[in-house]
Amino acid sequence: MNHSRVNDLYNRHYGGLFLFIVVLAIVPFFVNSFFLSVLILVGLYAIVTTGLTMLMGYAGQISLGHAAFYGVGAYASAVMTGTHGMPGIVGVLVGVILSIVIAVLIGIPTLKLKENYLALATLGFGIIIFTFFKELKEITGGLNGFFGIPSFSLFGFSFDTDLKFYFLIWVLLIIGILFSKNVIDSRVGRALRSIHGSDIAANSIGVNIQQYKLKVFVLSAVYASVAGSLYAHYVTFINPNLFTAMESINFLIMVVIGGSANIWGGMIGAIVYVLLNELLKDIVPVFFPNVGGEFQIVFFGVLLVAILIYMPQGLAPTLGKLWGRLVGRKSKKQAVTGPPNADATVGGSK
Amino acid sequence: MKGEKEMKKRILALLTVMMMLLLAACGGGDADSASGSDSGKDSGGEIKIGSVIDASGSASPLGKGEEETIKMIVDELNEKGGIGGKKIKLISIDSKSDQNEAVLATKKLIEQEKVTAIIGGTISGNSLAMIPLIEKAGIPYVSLAASKQVNNPDDKSPRKWTFKTAQGDDVVIPKLLEYLEKQGLKKVAWLNVANSYGTSGHEEFAKLAGDHGVKAVIEEEFEATVNDAKSTLTRVKKAKPEAIIVWGTAQESAVVTKNIREIGMDVPVIESHGIGTKQFVELAGKAANGVVFPAGKLLVLNELDNNDPQKEKLTAFKEAYESKYSNAASTFGGHAYDAIHILAEAIEKGGTDKEKIREALEQTDGFIGISGTFKMSPEDHNGLKSDSLVMVKIDEKGEWTLGE
Amino acid sequence: MELTSQFIQLIFSGLTIGSIYALVAIGFVITYNITGVLNFAQGDFAMLGAMLAITFVSMDIPMGLGIILSIGIVVLVGGIFERTAIYPARNASLPTLIIITLGVAIAIRGLAILIWGTQPRSLPPFTENNPINVLNAVLLPQSIWAVGISVVSLIAMHYFFNKTFIGKAVTACVVNRSAARLMGIKPEWMSFISIAVSAGLGAIAGIIIAPISGATYEMGLMIGMKAFVAAVIGGLTNAPAAIIGAFMIGILESFTEGLWTSGYKDAISFALLLLVLFFMPNGLFAKATGKRV
C-alpha cells in the first residue's frame, strides 16, 4: 500500500468529519424548536448507543441493562441538584462514579466466563436497580416520579434553552465517539479485531482480553450515565418507568439498526430509530386509520429481526457501500476500488 | 486497512447526507406548518386545539375512550358552527403511554402546530412531564390525569396554565374516608398497586385517614402484574382488619379481590374508582359481589334521581358515545368530555388570546359535566368536590348499584 | 398454629407460581441445549397460549378442545418462528441470536395488542373452584390443576426425550452433533422440533395461569424473565435442576411477600440470579445432578 495514499485517505477521512461537524453546527438554525428537541433526544440516545456499539462490536458482549445506568445518572443528577442544590457537574460525577463501581462489580465476575453471561447479569441488575428507583421513595420520589430538576449549568453558564442544550449534547457525543475510536484503535483494540475476538488467540499473543472487555463495558456504562444525567436536566421530570428492561432493549434495537461494526453505527441507529418513529406516526394512519401506536411496536420487532438476518452489519456499512458506489461512479479520479467487503467489520461480534 | 478507512469516509459522508435529509425534513415540516397556519388565517377562523393522549400502550384502556370522546365532541361542536363562528381544528397525537413521546408531542403542538390550547396527559406521569413545557410556553392546558400533583404539587412549582377535569386523589380519598366513617369501619387494611396511581392514593390516604378516625392496621403494595397475592394477604389476615381497601385498576385489583375471598376473609372490600370497568367484574367473578368503590355518577346513571343536575348530560353523553363507538362510555371519556367543553366555553368567552382563555378557565363556575359540577378558582384548578362522586356497589349479578 | 397455616399458605402459593415458571424454564433449557439460543420470546408463547384459549372459550368451543387447539397453534407459531428467524441466523453469534428473539418477542406482543387489545381478559377455572381447607390454609383446585398439569407435562417431556425415536434423535444432537449427523439425524430439524415443543410448553403455562391471574398482552415478559432466572439457577443445561430452580423462585417470592414486602420481590429473584452468575455460573446443582435434558 502506497504511503502517500494512506495519508490521503486519512485526510479525506477527517475532511468528512469536518463537514459533518459543520452541518451539525448549522442544522439547529434551520429547524423549529420541535425538531430541535427531537435532535436533542437523538443525541442523548446516541451517547448511550455509542457505548453499546463499542461493547457489542468490539467486545462481543451485549447489555440488557443499560437503561439502568441511564437511570443511575438521571437519579444521581436529580437528587444532587434537585434535593441537595448542588451544581450540575456534581450530579454527573456522582452518577459516573456509581456507574463505574456497579459496572466493575458486574463486569469482573461475568466477563471471565464464556457464553454471554454479561447479558444475563445486566438484565438482573437492570431489574434490581428499577426496584430501587421504585421503592426508595424518600430519595427518588418512588413511582410518583421526581420533579423540579433544575436546568443544567456548568461554571455559571446555564444550558437553559434547547439551542444551548443541543450544542452541549452533540459536542459531548462527538467527543464520546472520538474517544471510543481511540480505545478501539488502541493496541489491544486492534489486536482484538485482528484475531476476531478469539480468546485463545488473544492470550497466545499476550493480550489481556478480559481487561479490555471490562474497560469497554465500564466506559459504556459511563456514557449511559452521563446521557441519563443530562436527560434528567433536559426534561426536568423523571420516573422509574423510563428505565425499564424495555428501554434497555430499545437501546439495543438502535445499535442493531445502525450496526455495531462501526463506531458511528450507534449514532446512525439512534437517528434512524427516532426518525422512523416520527415518520411512522405520520404514515401509518394514512394506510391503517384504525391502528394506533401498536403497529410501530410490531414494526420495530420485525425490522430488528430482518436486519439481523439479512443485514447483520446494520445500516451503516450497507448504506456506506451504496454511497461509495454512487460517488465512485461519478468521480473517476477518486477510484474507489477497494475491496467491497469492508475489513472495518470487526470480529468482536462473530 | 485501506478498505476500513474508505468505509469510514463513506460512513461520515453518509452521516452528512443524513443530517442534510433531516434538515430537509424539518424544513419541510416548517413549510407545512407555516402553510397550515396561513390557510388557517385565510379562512379567517380556525382554532387549533391539540391533544396528547395515550391511545396505545399500557394506558390505552383509559386513553382510547378519551381520544374517541374528544373527536366526537369536536365534530359535534363544529357541526353546530364551531366556537364563536370559528371551526375547531383538532390535532390529536398518540403519546403511546410513554413520557418521552408525550414531551415531544407537546413540543410539536406548541412549536410546530402553534395550538391555542392543549388537552391530555392520560396518566399522571405524562401530565407531569408535559407541565414544565406548558408553563414555560404559557398555553392553556387541561389535564385528564388524576394525581393531585398535576394541579396542586407538593413542591409548589407553578401551575398557572394547568387545569384538570379528573377527580384527583384529594377528592376521591375524602369520599372513601367519609364512607368508612359512616360505616363505622375504623381499623382497615390498605393495599395499593405499586405504580403512581396506587402510591399517590396511598399518600393522600395516609395524610387524611386520621382526620376521619380511620387507622390502617397494615399497609402493603402489590405489583401491577400480580399473579397471586395470597402470600401478602396472609399478613393482612393476621392484622385482623375490619375492612380491606384495594387501590388499583381492573386487572390487578381483580386478582387481589379474588384472593381475599379465597383465603377466607369475609370483611367488606372497598376499592378505587380505577375498577369502574366491566373487565373488573368479569375478571373477579363471584368475588366482585359486594365490592364498594367511589366513582363518577356515569356508572349508576339509571339509579340517579331525575332531578340530579348531571343526569341529562350523562344520558346524552352515554347515548352519543355508544351509538358512535363499540365500547361502553367510560368515566375516563367523561374527563375528556368535560375538558373539551370547559375549554370551548373559555374560548367562547376569551377568544383566541391565551391569557384571556386562561382567565376564563379559572372562572369556570357551575359547569355541569360528566365528572361533576365544576367550580374553579385561582386556587382550585380542578373545581370538583367529593360530592361529584358516589359510592357504587357491585351486586350479585355483577351490576353497579348505588352503595349509599 | 397461625404461623403454620401461614407457612402452608405460602408454600401453596409458591408451588402454584413455581409450576408456571417450571414449564417455561424447561422450554428455555430445551431450546438452549439444542439450538444454543437464549429464547427471550419464551414467555410470550405463554401469553399467546392464554389469549388463544380465552378466545376459543369465548367462541363457545368446549374448553378442552379450545385448550388443545391453542397449544397446537402456539406449537405452530413456535415452528414458524424457528424457520423464519432462528434457522436463517443459525450461524450468527450468541448476542445476535439473543437480540433476534427479543425482536420476535416484541413483534408477538405488538400483534397481540393488535388482535386482543390491551384490556386484561380472563379464563374460567378448569373446574369448580371452591377453596379446600388444609390446616387453615387455603388450597384452590386451580392450583392443583396447575401443579398437576406441570408435573404431567414434565414427565411427558422426559419420556419424549428419552424413550421416543424423535426425542432420542434430539438428545443425540445435543450430545454430539456431528456423530448424530453421521447417523442420519438432521440437526436442523431438531432445532425446529425443540423450539416448537418449547413453545407448546409455554402455551400450557399460559393457559393454566390465565384462570388464576387473568391474561394481558404483556404477561409474557415477567413470566419469561422469572423462568429465565430459574433456568440459570439450574445451570441452563440441566432440566431437572431448572425445575427445582423454578420452584425455588416461586417459593422464595411467596415467602418474600408473605413475611416481608412485595415491593422487593423481583429484586430478590434477580439478586439470586446475580449471585448464581457470580459464584456458581454452572448452576446451583452443577455437581449433584447429571447432564442435560
Chain B contact probe: residue of A7, A19, A35 with most B CBs at under 10 A: A35
Helix (H, G, I), strand (E, B) or coil at A147: strand
Task: Mark out chain B residues that contact chain C at CB-CB < 8 A.
Answer: 56-58, 60-61, 194, 220-223, 225-232, 234-235, 238, 250-251, 254-255, 262-264, 279, 282-283, 285
Is A285 part of the contact surface with chain B (CB cutoff 8 Å)?
A: no
Taking an 8 Å cut-off on Cβ atoms, the answer to whether A245 and C221 are in contact is yes
Chain B contact probe: residue of A133, A194, A237, A346 with most B CBs at under 10 A: A237
How many A×C Cβ pairs under 8 Å?
A: 135
Cα separation, B4 vs A341, whole angstroms = 9
C282/B257: higher pLDDT: B257
Chains that touch A (3 or more CB pairs under 8 A): B, C
Taking an 8 Å cut-off on Cβ atoms, the answer to whether C225 and A245 are in contact is yes
Cα separation, B318 vs B300, whole angstroms = 12
Question: Which sign does the torsion angle of CA B395, B401, B403, B404 carry?
Answer: negative
Domain coordinates in residue numbering, chain C:
2-279
Chain B contact probe: residue of A8, A12, A20, A273 with most B CBs at under 10 A: A20
Q: Cα angle at C115 between C117 and B66, to 5 degrees?
A: 30
Q: For residue C192, which phi and psi values (nearest 5 degrees)? A: -60, -50
Q: Residue B24's pLDDT is what?
A: 54
ipTM attached to this prediction: 0.86
Q: pLDDT tens across C116-146, in order?
A: 887 788 888 888 778 888 877 888 888 899 9
Fold of C2-279: ABC transporter involved in vitamin B12 uptake, BtuC (1.10.3470)
Among all residues of chain A, which has the CA nearest to that of B14?
Answer: A320
Domain coordinates in residue numbering, chain B:
45-167+314-384, 170-302+389-402
Joined together, the cell numbers standing for residue A264 give 458511528
Of A130, A131, A304, the CB nearest to C99: A304
Which residues have a Cβ under 8 Å from the Cβ of A68 and sit 6 or more positions away?
A: A122, A125, A126, A129, A130, A243, A248
DSSP C86: I
Helix (H, G, I), strand (E, B) or coil at A341: coil
Joined together, the cell numbers standing for residue C35 give 439450538
Joined together, the cell numbers standing for residue B385 give 368536590
Helix (H, G, I), strand (E, B) or coil at A84: coil
Q: What is the enclosing helix (H) or strand (E) of A226?
A: helix A209-235
Taking an 8 Å cut-off on Cβ atoms, the answer to whether A137 and B11 are in contact is no
Measured between beta carbons, the chain C residues lying within 8 angstroms of B225 are 218-219, 222
Of C38, C104, C278, the CB nearest to A301: C104
Please name the amino acid found at residue C38.
Answer: L
Residues 156-175 of B with CB under 8 A from A: 157
Chains that touch B (3 or more CB pairs under 8 A): A, C
| Residue A17 resides in a domain | no
Cα separation, A44 vs A230, whole angstroms = 8
Q: Is B320 exposed, middle or buried (0-12, 13-18, 19+ CB in 10 A)?
A: middle
Q: Could you tell me the pLDDT band of residue A202, with boundaries at 50, 70 and 90?
A: low
Please name the amino acid found at residue C220.
Answer: G
Is A268 part of the contact surface with chain B (CB cutoff 8 Å)?
A: yes
- State in Å, rounded, how far the first CA of chain B is from the last one: 81
Measured between beta carbons, the chain B residues lying within 8 angstroms of A320 are 7, 10-11, 13-14
Instruction: Tell which phi-psi region holds residue A55, choosing left (phi > 0), alpha (psi between -120 and 50) or beta.
Output: alpha
Of A109, A116, A135, the CB nearest to C263: A135
| Residue A202 resides in a domain | yes
Question: Strands C137-139, C132-134: parallel, antiparallel or unpaired by DSSP?
Answer: antiparallel
Question: What's the residue count for chain A?
Answer: 350
Whether this prediction's pTM lies above 0.90 is answered by: no
Structural domain including A153 reads 31-349
Instruction: Please give the distance of CA B76 from its chain centroid, rounded to a whole number.
Output: 22
Q: Is B85 exposed, middle or buried (0-12, 13-18, 19+ CB in 10 A)?
A: exposed
What is the CATH class of B170-302+389-402? alpha beta
pLDDT above 90 covers a percentage of chain C that reads 32
Measured between beta carbons, the chain C residues lying within 8 angstroms of B230 are 9, 12-13, 138, 254
Taking an 8 Å cut-off on Cβ atoms, the answer to whether B203 and A144 are in contact is yes
Q: Residue A328's pLDDT is what?
A: 54
Q: Are A75 and A140 in contact (CB under 8 A)?
A: yes
Measured between beta carbons, the chain C residues lying within 8 angstroms of B262 are 131, 138, 140
Which residues have a Cβ under 8 Å from the Cβ of C31 and sit 6 or more positions away?
A: C37, C38, C39, C42, C194, C195, C198
pLDDT above 90 covers a percentage of chain A that reads 31
Chains that touch C (3 or more CB pairs under 8 A): A, B
Residue B119, beta-bridge partner list:
B51, B142
How many CB atoms neighbour CB C31 within 10 A?
Answer: 27
Question: What's the residue count for chain C?
Answer: 293
Task: Mark out chain C residues that contact chain B at CB-CB < 8 A.
Answer: 2, 6, 9-10, 12-14, 16-17, 20, 113, 117-122, 131, 133, 138, 140, 209, 212-214, 216, 218-219, 222, 253-259, 261-263, 265-266
**Nearest by Cα to B2 from A1, A244, C280, A252:** A1
Q: Residue C134's pLDDT is what?
A: 81
Taking an 8 Å cut-off on Cβ atoms, the answer to whether A13 and B27 are in contact is no
**Nearest by Cα to A35 from C143, A43, B252, A4:** A43
Same fold for the pair B45-167+314-384 and B170-302+389-402: yes
Q: Are C148 and C18 in contact (CB under 8 A)?
A: no
> pLDDT tens track of chain B, all 404 residues?
445 556 666 666 666 666 666 555 544 444 343 333 333 343 457 899 999 998 887 788 888 889 999 999 999 999 998 888 889 999 999 888 888 889 989 988 998 889 999 998 888 889 989 998 999 999 999 999 888 888 888 777 889 999 999 988 888 999 999 999 999 999 999 999 988 788 889 989 999 999 999 999 999 888 887 888 888 888 898 899 999 999 998 888 999 999 999 888 899 999 998 888 888 888 888 899 999 999 989 988 888 888 888 998 999 999 999 999 888 888 889 999 999 999 999 999 888 899 999 999 999 998 999 998 999 999 899 989 888 899 999 999 889 998 86
| Residue A20 resides in a domain | no
Lookup result for grid cell 416481608: C260
Of B225, B228, B282, the CB nearest to C212: B228
Q: Mutual orientation of helices A117-135 and A88-111 as an angle, nearest 10°?
A: 140
Taking an 8 Å cut-off on Cβ atoms, the answer to whether A293 and B33 are in contact is no
Taking an 8 Å cut-off on Cβ atoms, the answer to whether A319 and B22 are in contact is no
Q: Is A1's pLDDT higher than 90?
A: no
- What's the rounded mean pLDDT across residues C5-24? 90
Chain C contact probe: residue of A309, A310, A311, A350 with most C CBs at under 10 A: A309
| Residue A6 resides in a domain | no
Residue B220, beta-bridge partner list:
B191
Q: Are A64 and A245 in contact (CB under 8 A)?
A: yes
Convert chain B into a string of H (helix), E (strand) and C (coil): CHHHHHHHHHHHHHHHHHHHHHHHHHHHHHHHHHHHHHHHHHCCCEEEEEEEECCCCCCHHHHHHHHHHHHHHHHHHHHCCCECCEEEEEEEEECCCCHHHHHHHHHHHHHHCCCCEEEECCCHHHHHHHHHHHHHHCCCEEECCCCCCCCCCCCCCCCCCEEECCCCHHHHHHHHHHHHHHHCCCEEEEEEECCHHHHHHHHHHHHHHHHHCCEEEEEEEECCCCCCCHHHHHHHHHCCCCEEEEECCHHHHHHHHHHHHHCCCCCCEEECHHHCCHHHHHHHHHHHCCCEEEEEHHHHHHHCCCCCCCHHHHHHHHHHHHHHCCCCCCHHHHHHHHHHHHHHHHHHHHCCCHHHHHHHHHCCEEEECCCCEEECCCCCCCCCCHHHEEEEEECCCCCEEECC
Among all residues of chain A, which has the CA nearest to that of C96?
Answer: A308
Cα separation, B206 vs B216, whole angstroms = 8
Give how many domains chain A has, as a whole number: 1
Which residues have a Cβ under 8 Å from the Cβ of C53 and sit 6 or more positions away?
A: C66, C67, C70, C123, C206, C207, C210
Q: Is C175's pLDDT higher than 80?
A: no
How many CB atoms neighbour CB A190 within 10 A?
Answer: 13
Q: pLDDT tens across A94-112, in order?
A: 999 999 999 999 998 888 7
Chain A contact probe: residue of B1, B10, B157 with most A CBs at under 10 A: B10
Taking an 8 Å cut-off on Cβ atoms, the answer to whether C214 and B57 are in contact is no
In order of A293, B373, C42, C157, the CA distances from C47 in angstroms are 20, 43, 9, 21
Q: Are C100 and A308 in contact (CB under 8 A)?
A: yes
The DSSP line for C181-238 is HHTT--HHHHHHHHHHHHHHHHHHHHHHHHHHH-B-TTHHHHHHHHHHHHHHHTTSS-
Q: Is B14 exposed, middle or buried (0-12, 13-18, 19+ CB in 10 A)?
A: buried
Q: Are B49 and B118 in contact (CB under 8 A)?
A: yes
CATH number, domain of A178, equals: 1.10.3470
How many CB atoms neighbour CB A162 within 10 A?
Answer: 19
Cα separation, C215 vs C47, whole angstroms = 7
Chain A contact probe: residue of B8, B58, B195 with most A CBs at under 10 A: B8
Taking an 8 Å cut-off on Cβ atoms, the answer to whether A321 and B14 are in contact is no
Cα separation, C167 vs C155, whole angstroms = 13
CATH number of B45-167+314-384: 3.40.50.2300
